[in-house]
Structures are given as structure tokens and as C-alpha cells.
Amino acid sequence: MAYFIGVDTGGTFTDVVAIDEKSVTTTAKALSTPPRFEDGIMNALQALAEEIGITREKLLRETARLSLGTTVATNTLITGTGAKAGLLITVGFEDTLHIGRGISKWIGLPESQIKDYSMASKPKPYIPKELIRGITERIDWKGSIVCPLNREEVKQAVKALVDKGVEAIAVCFLWSFKNPAHENEVGTIISEMYPDLFISLSSEMAPILGDYERCNTIVLNAYIGPTTKEFIAKVDEDLKAKGLNFPMLVMQCSGGTTFGSAVTPAATFESGPAGGVIGSRFIGEQLGLKNIITTDVGGTSFDVSVIADGAVMFAREPVVERQAIALPLIDVASIGAGGGSIAWADPSTGLIHVGPKSATARPGPACYGFGGTEPTVTDACLVLGYLDPDYFLGGKMKLYPDKALDAIKKVADQAKLDVTRVAAGTYDIVCSHMADLIRITTVQRGYDPRDFVLFAFGGAGPAHAAVYGAELGVKEVIIPSAASTYSALGIATSDILHTNVLYDSSPIPMDPNRFNKNFQTLEERVTEDLNRDGIKEKDRTMRYFLEMKYGSQIHVLRVLIPRKRYRAEDMDFIANEFDKVYESVYGKGSGYSPAGRFVTTFIVEGIGKVPKPPLLAHRLKGRDASAALMGKRDAFFKKHNDYVPTNIYNYDKLRAGNIVEGPAIIEATKTTIVVPPDQKARIDEYLNIRI
């Protein structure tokens, strides 16, 4: 039996999914083990093997492909445990990181802080001024060398930085994306002087206009690079030692995978959430759905993305931990609203708030019994009767209701409310936060949630989705059969992806020979990448993109165009395609063609298709779900403003076609689905729950 495995290391749980040749999907979870996340991965694979009924070694020996999504890069930034890094930059521009841009004071801040100017501040750069060195060199906007590189100055600067203890060096020169000669020369000098030093070149990672974003990107890459590379290498080594016969693939923030040995560390930012979006597109294709809102509720965060007409959205101004970057990043909006989000009362007003602070995996919610004492959303769900303390993770982990009550009582005493009201308030508040973020992600971008279905996944998502989905008026809420490990499913089904970028600004119409030559250059680079990965010709797909803007504008939009050889008469088509994309984003009539259209960047994506077993369809068995009914439990619902007897169903005993009328609770081994009063859940032929 050949298995296709996806692994997603989250802040609280590590999720794994295996799909076999017969399309049978098996899932498992284990607690994450920061800072040694590799231990959590091996524990999760052990649990997966036990679910299948074989040893972990046999599972890995029979694995055809294993793909990993990791939060190690993000976790390194959050905890401030990255490498000591230095920066070489064109002389005179040493303060680029510290000056930032006009938006630097509020970029990445929540709306509440943006409105309060006293709360605004520039993000602290990850490289201090004393580790930045200006290098004499200059290339102009056409790529011509104006001032030669001072090699001796480079050697002295590198030695001085290494003497100060740097473990990585970033290099960002002006207009290096037009001519990388100087950066390449510096890279060679560093490698010859210190072969083990981690090097990050802007012309390789972010060959686009925008010095601040380019510099941020390579600085972050240098800061997290050694830790991330070491982690990926360690996981790969452990997997091979346990029987894996093929190199591990790593998920990227762009929505595709690449081999661990070739991955750029910064490209692993948000790789877990990206997996959830790709998984939603995969399932959506099987179900014939093109407009999808994806919602992922984990232990620490709530992540939202939009798939419109089958297309994944990319962030127009990517931000990671308040740092503007220049990488293709799937547009995932996040807030601190997860199962581990902590509820608290304002000491002056007594008002209840939820998040953004999280209890994380350790100590975790109070009900976990790991020493946590702060009341969390999970504690509230337990008090409200939504969770069975003896059936968490299918009974593998016991919850402690008394500890949840004690934790919530502390807030209740501060707010002068009873425990039930505080628990219900915590649940309502976090659902409202989730609905608000979805509105921002859809309505404020011109999309009507009523035109979409909502996918809800993550371990905590199905307990909330019917509430925030109803508030938004979506067509239906779909909880996939592998909801609790859904990002891992997306990672398992992600194709290999290579992206190459070339900056060449020009008005449209553009000389077709120059236009075609740019794409030819990029396609040759992508072809080399796919050849290196051993992707067969029949399994390859190329996609052409342009980044374009109107004259006198700063922001660009990505436009997908057909792959072909373009002629002079095709330039009107290019201009019209940009107008369509612009108006789809900013509204009908917002385009202004008299300003002229400009191409800034050429992009080619090379996709290596990987095998994806189709979803396993089941025969419909009828509406009656009574065979899955396990009994009743009192649960609190806002409609009744009280606890009411609620039917409890075993998900494993539900069959395709069954209907579950609310109020009801469906218990799966790795998640719990709450069906409120006046709603109903239908089990479709793929065993997804559709509310």
C-alpha cells in the first residue's frame, strides 16, 4: 500500500493525514512539542500508524510522498530566538530598515490600535544598526554598473560581522534585481571566507522593485534561516532513519511544495494556513464549488481566506509579524481567536474580552490539566456542554470540568456575573470576532458572503462555524470529513511549485519581442527546477502572470494570462485583462485607462502535478440518523438562553444521506460539531457535514 502523507505542525497540535491508493483517508493528532517540534511530528506519525494498524516504520517505508507544513519560522520570529544576523547594503542606505515606509507605524496592527495613534509604532528590525554595513557599489535602474564593487571593503565588513558573532548575512543592493552581479560576487566572497555561514541574497529571493520590502524579506530569511534549515534537515534525517525512502517535501506560503533541501526558509511562513486553503480548493473541485470562504480555528488563531471562481487569492501587500515582505503569500487573514484564546474581564468596566493572548499547548486551557489556570474558549465550550470530557481526541485525552469552572469563575467574579453567562459570553464574543474578520475579508473586498459556501476546519472550528456562518448568511457551512486535520490534508494534496520572477517595467503596449523574451527566460529557469525535481513532462503545467498597475499608482495587481507567444495585436488583450481584474477588486467603473497601463513584473509558475487519489464516495443510506444517536446531554444555546437536552451523535456511525436536526452535537474522534437550534446537518456522499 502506498501512502500520501501531509503533516501540519501547529502551535498547539501537530496534525497528520494519510491517503492510500484506494482513497481511504486516515487522520491523527498529537500535542506539539515546542521548541523540539520534531518530537511532536514523530508522535503524530506514531498515532497515525496505530490508527492504520501498522508500525510507524512500516508506514514510512510504504509512503510514496510526505509533505510538511511548519510553523517553526513563524515561531522563531514570535519568540525572538532567530540567528544573530548581519546586513550588507549599498552605502548610504544603512538606515533603510529603521526608516521603513509611511505605513510602517501601523502595518500589521489590529484596527483598534490603528485608530489609537498613541499605540502606533514602527516594528523593531531584526538586525540592529551595529550589525549593518554599507558597501561601496552602485547599479542604476537600467542594470548598468555605475560604481564597481569594492571587494576589499566587503571582506573587511564580513570579517567584522563574523567577529561580532553573526551566524547569517543578508545582502541587499540597489537595483540588484536588474543586475545581480554585485550581490552574486559578494555571495561568492562570503562562501569562500566562511563556507558554513548562512547567506541571503535579495536578487535571488525577491527580485522586484521596493527596497524596504526586499530588504525585510532577506533579513527575515537570514534571521530564521539557520534554525529553519536545521529543523527541516533534522526532520528529514529522522524520517529517513525510521524508514522513509524519499526526500521530504515542504509546504510553501505560495501554496505549493518543494523539496526540503531546496526550500527557502522564509517561504515556509504561514505554510499551515496555506495548506488549508489548498485543501479547500481540492475538495471544492470534487464538490463542484468555486466560491469558498475558508475558516481555520486552531488553538491560537482564526485564519480566513477566500477562493473566488476557483482561484486562490494572494496578498497584495504581504505582511509577516508586522514586517512588509516581498514573497508570494496566499492571502490569509488571522486574529488571535482559537480554542486556547484567553477570556478576561476589564478591571475598570467588568466587560469580558477574548484573546488575543493564548494559552498555547503548554500549559494550555485549564481543562487540559497541564497546569493552566486562565479561562479559555475551550474551557467555555466544556462548561456549556459542547464537549464531552471523556471523549476529547476520541477519549485519548481527558478534560477536567472542575478546572474549567474554577478558571471561568475567576472572570465571573471580576465581571460580577454567573459562570454560565461568562462561558456563553466567551463563546459569543469569539464567534463575533470570527464573523467580523470574515466580513473584512469578503465584504470590504467586494464579495458578498451569501454567494459563497463556508468551509470550517481546524480542531476547534466545527464547534463555532454554524454560529458565525449563520450570522454571515452564507449558502451553507461545510465541515470536511477530515476537518480537524484539514491543513494537513491540503499539504498532502499540494503540487510541487516553483515560481520565478523578473522585474521589467514598461507601458502597454510593450515590444512583443521583449515581452516574449522575458517569459522565455523565466520558463527556462522553471524548467530547470522541475528537471531537478524529476517531474515528468506530462505532469508539468506552466502559468504566466503579469503584475500591472495604472500610471501614477503604486500598488500592483496580479493578472493571469494565457501561455502563448504574444504579438503586437495581443497588447490590447493584455490591457483589457488588467482592467477586468482591477474592477473585480476595486469595483465596477474604478478603472482609469487614460492613466495608461504599466507592466512591472513578469512571473512564471511551474507546477509539478503529484498524484491525488479522488475522494471516496459512499452510497446514500437515507435520512434516518438514529443509529448514530448516543444519548442526550444538556447544552447551552443562546436561542433558549438556557441549557436544553441535546442529542449527541457519533460521527463514525453517521452514514451518507443522514440528516441531523439541531440542537445537536456530533462527536468525532478529533473534533466536535455543534448544530444550533433551527439548523440541520446533512451528511453528503463524501461524509462531509453540510449545515
The CATH architecture to which 81-221 belongs is 3-Layer(aba) Sandwich (3.40)
Which residues make Cβ contacts (< 8 Å) with residue 237, sequence separation at least 6? none
Cell numbers found for residue 577: 485583462
Residue 62's identity, in one-letter code, is E
pLDDT at 624 over 90: yes
pLDDT of 687 higher than 90: yes
Orientation angle between helical segments 465-472 and 419-442, nearest 10 degrees: 50
Q: What is the pLDDT of residues 592-621, one digit of tens each?
A: 889 999 999 999 999 998 877 777 889 998
Largest CA distance in the chain: 80
Question: Nearest Cα to 471, choosing from 676, 237, 658?
Answer: 676
Cβ neighbours of 144 (radius 10 Å): 11
Q: Is the pLDDT of residue 362 over 80?
A: no
pLDDT given for residue 70 in this prediction: 86
CB neighbours of residue 56 within 10 Å: 18
Q: Helix and strand tally (H, E) in the chain? A: 17, 33
* Residues 312 and 294: beta-carbon distance below 8 Å: no
- The angle, 0 to 180 degrees and rounded to 10, between the axes of the packed helices 72-79 and 211-241 is 120
- Tell me which of 270-284, 351-365, 375-389 is least confident: 351-365
Helices in 119-251 by DSSP H: which ranges?
151-163, 181-193, 202-205, 211-241
CB-CB neighbours of 492 under 10 Å = 34
**626, pLDDT greater than 80:** yes
170's enclosing H/E stretch is: strand 168-172
Q: Is residue 341 within 8 Å of residue 376, measured between CB atoms?
A: yes
Sequence-distant (≥ 6) Cβ neighbours of residue 549 within 8 angstroms: 555, 556, 557, 597, 598, 600
Residue among 655, 690, 673, 284 at smallest CA distance from 478 = 690
The rounded distance, in Å, linking the Cα atoms of 105 and 399 is 42
For the chain, which residues make up each domain, given as ranges? 3-76+229-271, 81-221, 274-489+613-691, 496-608
Specify which residues 500 forms β-bridges with: 604
CATH 3.40.50 fits 496-608, yes or no: no
**Which run of H or E residues covers position 61?**
helix 56-61
Q: Going edge to edge, which strands form the sheet with 557-561?
A: 25-31, 13-20, 3-9, 63-70, 249-251, 257-259, 496-507, 597-608, 540-550, 557-561
* Start-to-end CA span in the chain (Å): 35
3-76+229-271: in CATH 3.30.420.40: yes
- Residues 433-448 have a mean pLDDT of 87
Cβ–Cβ under 8 Å, residues 11 and 361 = yes
CA 66 to CA 51: how far, in whole Å? Answer: 17
pLDDT at residue 223 is higher than 90: yes
Q: Are 596 and 551 in contact (CB under 8 A)?
A: yes
Q: Residue 374 has which C-alpha cell?
A: 486562565
pLDDT in tens, 527-576: 999 988 888 889 899 999 999 999 988 888 889 999 999 999 999 999 99
DSSP assignment string, 282-313: HHHHHHT---EEEEEE-SS-EEEEEEETTEEP
Confirm if 180 and 571 have CB atoms less than 8 A apart.
no
pLDDT above 80: residue 106: no
